[in-house]
């Protein structure tokens, strides 16, 4: 007999207090070269899920050199 697994998708969005602190080796910073000062932060996909900030990550936009990193839409502090 086959078993059926039920997955509850009604999980509430995690409330993030303060600026998330992400280690240097689990995040990447991309600065614009035209001097506009625009900075993009990327976070390791696995780390985003561990820190429960995956709701603030755009998984469709990957880092140009490392596909394991995705764009995070909130500011982070790199430690």
Q: Under a CB-based contact definition with an 8 Å cutoff, are residues 34 and 21 in contact?
A: no
Task: Tell me the C-alpha distance between 68 and 2, whole Å.
Answer: 35
Structure tokens at 27: 């995040």
- Domain limits of the chain? 21-78
Half-sphere exposure of 67 toward its Cβ, with a 13 Å CA cutoff? Answer: 1
Structure tokens at 34: 């035209």
* pLDDT tens digits, 32-75: 888 788 899 999 999 999 999 989 999 999 999 999 999 999 99
pLDDT value at 20 more than 80: yes
Task: Tell me the C-alpha distance between 70 and 44, whole Å.
Answer: 6
Distance separating the N- and C-terminal Cα atoms of the chain: 51
């Amino acid at each position: 007999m086959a078993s059926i697994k039920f997955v509850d998708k009604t999980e509430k969005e995690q409330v993030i207090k303060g600026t998330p602190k992400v280690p240097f080796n689990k995040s990447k910073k991309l600065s614009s070269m035209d001097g506009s000062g625009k900075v993009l932060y990327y976070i390791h996909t696995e780390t985003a899920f561990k820190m429960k900030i995956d709701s603030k990550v755009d998984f469709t936009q990957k880092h140009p050199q490392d596909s394991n990193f995705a764009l995070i839409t909130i500011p982070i502090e790199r430690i």
